[in-house]
Structure formats: C-alpha cells, structure tokens
C-alpha cells in the first residue's frame, strides 16, 4: 500500500509524514543530520540519498514494511490553517521559485485571467492589493478542492487532514503530532523518543525556511485577510483541520492551538 509523502531516516530511527508548509524543510534536515552528521547542502526536498523517501522507488518497500509493522517512532507536524494558506499564497502564487520561474508554469496566468488575482508584477515585488488578491485566490482554492476545477488541488493548499490520513488508511500509526507554532517543544519529543547517530541541539539548529524570500512580505495582520466570506470558505475547506488539530477558527488572530491533538481521535476519524 502506498505511503506518499513519507520520509524515513536511513537508520530507520524515525518515520515522518510530510505536510507541506508545516516546517517540513527543517524537520527533513534534522532527520538527515541525525544520520549523517551534517545538513544536506541545498533544499532537503531535492536530496536523493542520505534518507529514505517514498518518492524514491528503492525506499518504498523499506518504508512500507516499517510503517505497517510500526517498527519506528512515527510523527507529523501541523500548522494553523489561516497562516498556512497565507504562506502558500505569498510563496507559491506571488513568489518566484528557486528555478527563477513561476510555480507550476501557467498557474499564475490562469489566476490572473480567471480570478483577477494580482501578484506584484513579474518579480512579485510590485505594489498590489494583497487582501483583495488573497481572497480571490481563496475562492480558487475552494474551487480546486470542492470541484477539482480549474485544476486538481495542489499539495500546498490541500487540507492537512488529507495528507495526514494517507499514513493511517494504509496501515500506519502516529506516535506524535505536534504544532509548527510550538516547534522546539514538539520536535524535542521526537528526539527524546528516538536514537540519533549524531545528537541534535534544537536551540542551535537553523530554520530551513525554503520559501523565505520567494514572494512579497505579508503587509497586514493575519486577521485582516479574512472577512466573513473568507472565513466561510476556510470552514468549508479546512473544517477537519481546525477540529482535529485544535486550532481556533473563531479568531484568525490567534495562531496558537487551543488544545492538544488527540491521537485516538485522529486515527479513528482519518482511518476510514
């Protein structure tokens, strides 16, 4: 059975289900360092050795066997849906990517033509109405997720519950789900529960924010981007994310979780 988006250390000390826009670059680099004693030189998503990934065919039987037998500590990391979708907008839609091109080629021209989204010009650095454009982008996100038009939903804005669930429905079990907003606290639990060939001091680990600098800076507080209609769309798209991962839907200004993740609830509700 498939385990998409799953990474595992070569020593099989830990198994991680990647959730895009939720500190995955930093987590991947920590996993890489724990086995190799150094960080990967570049974006960890590009690494083709030094760790196992489901996207690499040779890794698949090892990940599948480990996950289904629950041989290692398995975890994932989640983030407030309001800040996650804003990050996706500024990075993937407004920003120029590492290759010097726009994300997914014709996606941005489509958004400009069909939804009236502005992105700050060719380099993403021009002035534009961030709030109006984001709200139009959110309508597009709803259309991709609800109607799969004008395209299938992208991994960077599809619901976290969908990513997290693939590990469960195919026979995996999570030992820990923690919050991007409490990263050191949550990642320390993983490190305390797993052996490392090379010990890690989280206080000294840099943050590998691979999307940093791609797009314009957010010019307003989070809550300013979400009017009544936007929040209605957020609930339609991300209801399960708010409920399962204990984030505050009623107050977009509160990025912190309002409870702890209930692993039994996650496995029960995402295991169908």
pLDDT digits (tens, 9 = 90+) for 101-135: 889 989 999 999 999 999 987 777 788 999 999 99
Per-residue pLDDT tens for 76-104? 999 999 999 999 999 999 988 878 788 99
Cis peptide before 150 (omega within 30 of 0): yes
Over the Cα atoms of the chain, what is R_g?
19
Contact 111, 117 (CB under 8 A): yes
pLDDT at 10: 97
Q: How many CB atoms lie within 10 A of CB 120?
A: 18
pLDDT at 170: 95
Angle value at C-alpha 76, between 81 and 164, nearest 5 degrees = 65
For 5, 30, 121, the CA distances from 94, given in Å and listed in that order, are: 25, 29, 9
pLDDT at 13: 97
This prediction's pTM: 0.95
CA 30 to chain centre: 16
pLDDT under 50: residue ranges of the chain: none
Cβ within 8 Å of residue 94, ≥6 positions away: 119, 120, 124, 214, 215, 216
End-to-end CA distance of the chain: 15
* Distance separating alpha carbons of residues 27 and 30, to the nearest angstrom: 5
- Give the start-to-end residue ranges of the domains of the chain: 6-80+156-204, 83-154+215-237
Burial 46-63 (b: 16+ CB within 10 A, else e): ebeeebbbbeeeebbeeb
């Amino acid at each position: 059975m498939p385990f998409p988006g799953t990474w595992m250390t070569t020593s099989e000390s830990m198994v991680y289900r990647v959730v895009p826009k939720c500190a995955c670059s930093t987590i991947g680099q920590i996993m890489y360092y724990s086995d190799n004693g150094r960080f990967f030189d570049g974006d960890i998503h590009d690494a083709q050795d030094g760790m196992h990934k489901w996207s690499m065919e040779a890794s698949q039987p090892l990940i599948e066997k480990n996950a289904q037998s629950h041989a290692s500590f398995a975890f994932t990391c989640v983030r407030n849906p309001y800040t996650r979708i804003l990050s996706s907008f500024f990075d993937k839609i407004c920003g120029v990517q590492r290759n010097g091109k726009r994300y997914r080629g014709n996606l941005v021209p489509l958004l400009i033509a069909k939804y009236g989204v502005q992105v700050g010009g060719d380099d993403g650095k021009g002035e534009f109405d961030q709030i109006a454009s984001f709200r139009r982008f959110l309508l597009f996100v709803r259309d991709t997720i609800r109607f799969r038009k004008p395209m299938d939903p992208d991994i960077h804005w599809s619901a976290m519950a969908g990513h997290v669930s693939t590990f469960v429905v195919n026979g995996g079990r999570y030992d820990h789900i923690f919050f991007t907003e409490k990263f050191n606290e949550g990642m320390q639990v993983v490190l305390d529960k797993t052996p490392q060939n090379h010990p890690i001091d989280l206080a000294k680990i840099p943050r590998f924010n691979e999307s940093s600098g791609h797009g314009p800076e957010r010019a307003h507080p989070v809550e300013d981007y979400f009017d009544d209609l936007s929040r209605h769309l957020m609930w339609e798209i991300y209801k399960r994310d708010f409920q399962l991962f204990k984030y505050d839907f009623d107050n977009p200004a509160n990025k912190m979780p309002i409870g702890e993740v209930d692993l039994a609830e996650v496995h029960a509700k995402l295991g169908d």
